[in-house]
Amino acid sequence: MTVKRITFLQELLALIGLEGRLHLEWISSAEAQKFVHVVTDFTEKIRALGPNPLKENRRLYTLEIDSDTESEETISVSGG
């Protein structure tokens, strides 16, 4: 069931463009090598993806779309 729930969540995040940031793996306490391998690989993958784009600058689209006209006003009104 966990794998189904996580699959659901992975696909849900993919719908809005946040794919690849959730990973599920079963690792026994005896599998130290596997743990290191998985954590290292996933850390690298996440680092390559960069910080969560929703954390800051939620108005990314306004900056791009309105960059030519009245950008000052739009940013100051809607920022944050």
Residue numbers at the binding site for another protein (CB under 8 A): 1-8, 10-12, 14-20, 23-26, 38, 41-42, 45, 53-54, 58-61, 64-65
Q: Could you give the CA distance from residue 4 to residue 13 in angstroms, rounded to a whole number?
A: 14
Give 1 or 30: the residue with its C-beta nearer to another protein: 1
First CA to last CA distance, the chain: 38
Give 38 or 75: the residue with its C-beta nearer to another protein: 38
Residue 33 CB, shortest distance to another protein, in Å, is 15
> How many Cα atoms within 13 Å fall on the side-chain side of residue 73?
3
